[in-house]
Each structure stands twice: as structure tokens, then as C-alpha cells.
Amino acid sequence: MSMRVVFLDRASLKANVRKPALGGEYVEHEKTAAAQIVPRLAGAAVAIINKVPMRADVLRLLPQLKMIAVAATGYDVVDIPYCQEHGIAVANIRNYAVHTVPEHAFAMILALRRNLLAYRQDVENGVWNKSDQFCFFTHDIGDLYGSTLGIIGEGAIGQSTAAIGRAFGMRVLFADHPPPKMAGVAFTPHEEVLAQSDVISLHCPLLPSTRNLIDIGAFRKMKRNALLINTARGGLVDEAALIQALDEGLIAGAGFDVLTVEPPKNGHPLLDVRRPNFILTPHIAWASDGAMQFLADQLIDNIEHWAAGSPQNLVT
């Protein structure tokens, strides 16, 4: 069966993407504005998206659309209830970022725990040149060994993060939450994880129940020496509360790879945070070369399996 497939934001994926073996037209657009979605998907049975929003108002105008292939694990840009009601299959990517995201998280954890940014800033400002001895101690340096790593989200990425933490000699806690839960994981009450952890790393999806999961109340429950790492979704954290927590010393630092609005074309409060205990990277924790190629291959596999009647990685 011949099907038209359209990739709406090809520029978001730096990898080789093979043409789906469906016998129909395959079209790629580097990026797509909201007003271009419907005309570009005219006649398409399959839409490939990464961050292009597919909401009910758009989907109603695309009755021929049968599948949305998301080039990411997170699918909060898709109106899942509408797709379920109207028989639109939605597939996402699984297990592609199990190394790249945890490694990025730990790059930030190590930099913050050992105050690398602050020391680099001191060296650039000439502090070492003026030192009376071979080194200087202007900032605290902490070890990961023996500390507690709290993880919110026990999927493949959360568990891979836990494995790295254990290799550093960290005690790992997974925060409890409503079902569904990963089998074989021991859970600790959410409030206890907030209170006991020296590092808290977020690896859960953005859902109505998890939006602003970390608010000012959560920050007040954390240790004053705690680090908060977010490589998942910006909306998991109340960003105004984060700034307040850093300003008031409620936590020791934070590393973020995500914002609530991406890209921050009109500015963003976290872009203005200039302090050595805060690291902001541009949503690239997932983007190692190996991970992106794995993603691209699975993306087309998902489409071909669905077309063949043996779908995989379905969200709906």
C-alpha cells in the first residue's frame, strides 16, 4: 500500500534518515511553522515530527492522517486523547538515549559538585597567579562517593543514570509515584527522596500530573547542599521557583538542559541567571552522534512496522 510520509522538522535530527519503504512519496521540510502544518500534511497518511505540535484543532483538519511518528521519547506535543478517539497511531522512540542523557546529567553533576565553573572563573580572573601556594580553596569541592542520588522516573534513562551513580559509590533512591510503575524497582516515598538526596535528577515525562512537580515547596524540602538536574522536560520545574531557590540558597546548584519554552526567542528568565552554580545547555543531552543515528533508524522502523500491521513502540 502506497502512503505519503511527511517529515515536518527534519533539521531537528542530525543523522541519516532512510526513506520509508512504503512505496509512496516521502517529503522532508527543515522546519514547519504552525500555519504550515495542515497544507504540508495534505494527503499524508504519516507525519513525522519532533517538536511540531499536533493538537486537536490541527488534527481535525487532517482526516486522512493515520499515524504520527515522533522522533523523540517525549510526546507531549501530541494530543493523545484525540488520537485515541480517532484511530491515529502514535509511536515514539525507546531506549535511544540510555547512555547520552545520563552521561550529560553526570557531566553537569560533576561540574557542579566540584565547582569547576567557579574555579575556572577564578583562574581566568587571575586568582591562581596571586596565590601564595600551589593551589587555592575558594569554593567547596564535594565527592559523589557516599552521597545520595534521588531519581524521579525509573524508565531506561533513569535506571541508566542510577547505574552510573552506583558506579560512583552513590546510594540511589527512586521516588514513588502513581502507577504505572517499572517492575522490580524499589521505591522510596517522594517526600523522603526530596529530603534525603544530595543530587536529584529528573527523568520522568511531562504530564498534567508532573507539571511543576518541583515547586517552591519541593525546594524547601531539599537539602541546602542538594543539586537539581533536569535533562527531561522544562515544565517539570517551576522556573521562577528555581531562581528563588538559587537566590535564597535553598539548594547548592542546578543543571538544566531544558526550558518550558524552546527555543527562547523572546528571552527567558533562566538565560539571565549568571552564577557558577547554574549550568544551562540547549536541549542537547540526547544529541550524541550515536544516539541520533539510533533514533533515526528506529523512527523509520516504527513507520514500516506499523504499515506492515505489526506496530511497535505505540503510545496509543
Question: pLDDT tens digit string along 241-252?
Answer: 999 999 999 999
What's the mean pLDDT in 22-46? 97
Query: What is the dotted CATH code of the domain comprising 100-280?
Result: 3.40.50.720
Best CA proximity match to 250, nearest among 216, 212, 220, 214:
220
* Residues assigned a catalytic role: 233, 262, 283
pLDDT band at 2 (very low <50, low <70, confident <90, very high): confident
Q: What is the pLDDT of residues 225-284, one digit of tens each?
A: 999 999 999 999 999 999 999 999 999 999 999 999 999 999 999 999 999 999 999 999
Homologous superfamily of 5-95+290-307: NAD(P)-binding Rossmann-like Domain (3.40.50.720)
Q: Cβ contacts of residue 258 below 8 Å, gap of 6+? A: 230, 231, 232, 233, 234, 283
What's the pLDDT score for residue 1? 61
- pLDDT bin (cut points 50, 70, 90) of residue 316 is confident
Q: Which of 208, 212, 197, 316 is nearest to 260 (CA)?
A: 212
100-280 and 5-95+290-307 share a CATH fold: yes
Torsion angle, CA of 110/235/314/101, rounded to 10 degrees?
A: -10
Please determine, for residue 96, whether its predicted confidence score (pLDDT) is greater than 80. yes
The whole-number average pLDDT for the span 202-216 is 95
Q: Are 12 and 71 in contact (CB under 8 A)?
A: yes
DSSP class of residue 180? P
User: pLDDT at residue 297 above 80?
Assistant: yes
> pLDDT tens digits for 55-71?
999 999 999 999 999 99
d(CA 250, CA 236): 18
Question: Amino acid identity of 208?
Answer: P
Indicate the domain borders of the chain: 5-95+290-307, 100-280
Give the torsion sign (CA, 181, 152, 101, 147): negative
- The half-sphere exposure of 277 on its side-chain side, counting CA atoms within 13 A, is 20
How far apart are the C-alpha atoms of 315 and 151, rounded to whole Å?
23
- What's the confidence (pLDDT) of residue 153? 97
Q: pTM value?
A: 0.88
